[in-house]
Structure 1
C-alpha cells in the first residue's frame, strides 16, 4: 500500500468530519434560536390572553351549541 495515499485518504476523512461537525453546530445554534423565539412568543401570547380575559371576563366561559 502507498503510505501517501493512506495519509491523503485519512486527511480527507478528517476534513469531512470537521465540516460535518461545523454544520451540525450551526444547525444546533439555529434550533436554539428558534426555541428561544418560540418561548418568547408563547410567553407574550399568555400575557396577551390574560390581559384580554381580564378586560372581557365574560367571553370564553361557555360554548353554545345548536343542533
Structure 2
C-alpha cells in the first residue's frame, strides 16, 4: 500500500471526510508553493548564469569527499 493511501485512510478515520478533503487541499497548496519557489529559484539561477555572477553557496565552505 502506498504511503499516501495509508495516510489518507488514517486521516479519514481520525477526522472524517471534511478532514480528508482539508488534508488534500493542504497538500495541493503546499505543492503549489513548492512549484512557485522552484520556478523563482530557477529564474535566479538562469539570470546568474547569463551574467556570470554566481552567489556564494552555503555549501561552498565545506569540502566533500567522493
1:32 Cα offset (Å) = 0.4
Matched, 1:10 2:40: no
Paired residues in the alignment total 40
Moved runs in structure 1, 4+ residues, more than 4 A?
none
In structure 2, runs of 5+ residues without a counterpart are: 1-12, 54-66
Unaligned runs of 5+ in 1: 44-67
Q: Which has the larger radius of gyration?
A: 1
- TM-score normalised according to structure 2 size: 0.56
Q: TM-score, normalised by structure 1?
A: 0.55
| Structure having greater relative contact order (Cα 8 Å, sep ≥ 6) | 2
